[in-house]
């Protein structure tokens, strides 16, 4: 691997194929706004109406899809700018950009709800202490950028972040349209770009419960990721 840039909060490595860039966020506690989260229900038990309402680990391919979308945004709006400031030039022409892992304590879950034979599927990224959940990669673009830029806070102690939840001045649809990633209709609701809103803009409040273990950074290498060094 060729390291293109290294900062206290992340580094970017170019794969030997010269086509893939891995953006690797620090897994240090000081570089995340997330805390451990465990969903309230992990079993597909039916309620009195015969419906289910539970969470499962997201499939690796879905998680990779999110990380690729986020990685492309970070390359265009964070990494290239940091490289420019440091006078770093890339002679290769990479075309794939992958966030090698979510920041510490972030995790993607799939929420299944409704008819047990064909439940609704919603993918949510949980962890942030400020945001209930992120419903699509595009919703997390600005928040991930905020993390890599040092998590600045406003005078009132709230995140100085432009995501639809922290800022609230624009809907996610407006943000996604500006970024050219607006997708108004998706069968899998967890990948859509809804209007977004404040921390309580979702359906209900995220219950939190401590968990005993966290996901080691090295586990992400199981999905064809580079080593963390």
Confidence of residue 88 (pLDDT cuts 50, 70, 90): very high
Confidence of residue 185 (pLDDT cuts 50, 70, 90): very low
Q: Give the pLDDT confidence score for residue 210 in this predicted structure.
A: 35
Confidence of residue 225 (pLDDT cuts 50, 70, 90): low
- Whole-angstrom Cα distance, residue 119 to residue 54? 10
Q: Give the pLDDT confidence score for residue 149 in this predicted structure.
A: 95
Structure tokens, 169? 């001045």
Q: Give the pLDDT confidence score for residue 181 in this predicted structure.
A: 81
- Whole-angstrom Cα distance, residue 202 to residue 25? 27
Confidence of residue 190 (pLDDT cuts 50, 70, 90): very low
DSSP state of 227: P
Q: Give the pLDDT confidence score for residue 27 in this predicted structure.
A: 96
Residues near 72 by Cβ (< 8 Å), separated by ≥ 6?
97
Q: Give the pLDDT confidence score for residue 138 in this predicted structure.
A: 96
| Per-residue buried b or exposed e for 57-96, using 16+ beta carbons within 10 Å of the residue's own CB | ebeeebbbbbbebbbbbbbeebbbebbeeeeeebeeebee
Confidence of residue 183 (pLDDT cuts 50, 70, 90): low
Residues near 108 by Cβ (< 8 Å), separated by ≥ 6?
58, 62, 63, 66, 102, 123, 124, 125, 126
Query: Does 209 have pLDDT greater than 50?
Result: no
Q: What is the mean pLDDT of residues 127-133?
A: 96
Q: Give the pLDDT confidence score for residue 188 in this predicted structure.
A: 42
Burial class (CB in 10 A: 0-12, 13-18, 19+), 125: buried
Q: Give the pLDDT confidence score for residue 50 in this predicted structure.
A: 92
Confidence of residue 91 (pLDDT cuts 50, 70, 90): confident
| Residue 111 or 220, more confident | 111
Task: Report, in this order, helix, strand and coil percent for the chain, each rounded to 5.
Answer: 25, 20, 55
| Residue 198 or 25, more confident | 25
Q: Give the pLDDT confidence score for residue 204 in this predicted structure.
A: 37
Contact, 70 vs 140, CB < 8 A?
yes
Alpha carbons within 13 angstroms on the beta-carbon side of residue 199 total 12
Residue whose entry in the numeric block shows the structure tokens 């401590």: 210
Contact, 74 vs 145, CB < 8 A?
yes
For 23-59, the pLDDT digits (tens) are 999 999 999 999 999 998 999 999 998 999 999 999 9
């Amino acid at each position: 691997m060729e390291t293109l840039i290294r900062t206290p909060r992340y580094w970017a490595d170019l794969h030997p194929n010269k086509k893939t860039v891995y953006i690797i966020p620090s897994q240090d506690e000081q570089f995340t706004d997330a805390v451990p989260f465990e969903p309230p229900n992990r079993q597909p038990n039916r309620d009195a109406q015969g419906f289910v309402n539970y969470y499962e680990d997201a499939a690796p391919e879905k998680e990779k899809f999110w990380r690729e979308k986020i990685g492309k945004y970070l390359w265009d709006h964070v990494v290239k700018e940091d490289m420019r400031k440091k006078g770093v030039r890339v002679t290769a022409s990479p075309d794939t950009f992958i966030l090698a892992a979510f920041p510490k304590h972030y995790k993607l879950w799939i929420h299944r709800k409704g008819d047990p034979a064909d439940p609704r599927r919603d993918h949510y990224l949980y962890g942030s202490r400020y945001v209930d959940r992120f419903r699509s990669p595009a919703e997390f673009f600005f928040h991930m950028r905020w993390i890599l830029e040092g998590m600045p806070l406003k005078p009132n102690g709230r995140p100085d972040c432009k995501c639809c939840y922290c800022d609230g001045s624009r809907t996610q649809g407006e943000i996604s349209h500006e970024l050219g990633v607006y997708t108004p209709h998706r069968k899998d609701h967890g990948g859509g770009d809804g209007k977004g809103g404040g921390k309580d803009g979702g359906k209900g409040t995220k219950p939190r419960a401590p968990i005993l273990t966290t996901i080691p950074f090295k586990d992400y290498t199981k999905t064809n990721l580079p080593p963390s060094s």
